[in-house]
Amino acid sequence: MVERAVQGPLRTGSEESVDSVTDRTTRRYPERAAEVYVVAEPHHAVATTNVVALGLPPNRVLGSLAPAAYKALLPYFEDVALIPGQVLHRQGARPSHVYFPESGILTLSRHSRTGEQIGIGLVGSEGMVGSGTLSSSAASPTECTVQLRGTAKRISVETFDAAARADLSVRSLGHVTACYAELRHDDSLQSVVCQSLHTVLQRCARWMLMMDDRVTADQGARTAFQLTHSTLAEILGVRRAGVTVAAGLLQRAGLVQYRRGKIVVADRAGLEARSCVCYMTAVTSAATVTGEPLG
């Protein structure tokens, strides 16, 4: 798993400064510009600098790799646009590529035999899609659709599998993606709990917070994002009328501003209070893997 370390210089046999943290990072987290993070297994820890300080991409999974491991993969990456509504892989089909979003938001969903859909989770620049284990050859248990426009790096599943199997050392592709796969599995189980136990209003608040986290991480500031009642109803697996009522209550309470399918979170603390415990559970789990919170 990944744990935060205390502030200070990187030491991995030779000293390396983190003074070169870029403007994007310091703008988002000015008080954390000199932080370092730890990618660790039990009884084994190796410090890493902030992602951007090493010139790594905005994607945090790739940013957790050792610099040499990332550079070795660079020739095999393709930069692609993420278009809203685009399906990156379908449930039951073998993915052709593994995607590492740099901006934008992807929705993971599960379909029943009779066509019903339920949202399993969101993936932004903190994650990856297309592989749940060290082997991407199996059929995908979920469908992945682009929710908000962005960009990503992608790599063929064959190249990904070969690289992941070749090295399982700390901060290798195999190690880092296995940690992320564990997070995705836990998040999926938490979604089942949320679907079964919590109200539509709580689940709406949770999904809005999850979207806001990822948009804020991309933009460096809180901004409006597209999320219609119909889309949210499909994701939550409920009737649109129920989402309309819940969204109206949140807006009248001054927690969100909702107009023409776009949402701005006006009161983060208030929205978190209306959400269920599943939201903070997911945030805590993500921080243990990516080394920093979302948003």
Per residue in 213-247, pLDDT tens? 988 887 777 788 988 898 899 888 899 999 999 99
pTM score of the predicted model: 0.74
Is a pLDDT exceeding 70 seen at residue 7? no
Q: Residue 220: which region, alpha, beta or left (left: phi > 0; alpha: psi -120 to 50)?
A: left
The pLDDT value recorded for residue 34 is 33
CA–CA separation, 262 vs 268, rounded Å?
Answer: 16
Residue 283's SS3 state is helix
Per residue in 142-163, pLDDT tens? 899 999 999 999 999 999 989 9
Lowest average pLDDT, out of 4-18, 56-70, 181-195, 204-218, goes to 4-18
- DSSP-assigned letters across all residues of 140-208: PSSEEEEEE-EEEEEEEHHHHHHHHHH--STTSHHHHHHHHHHHHHHHHHHHHHHHHHS-HHHHHHHHH
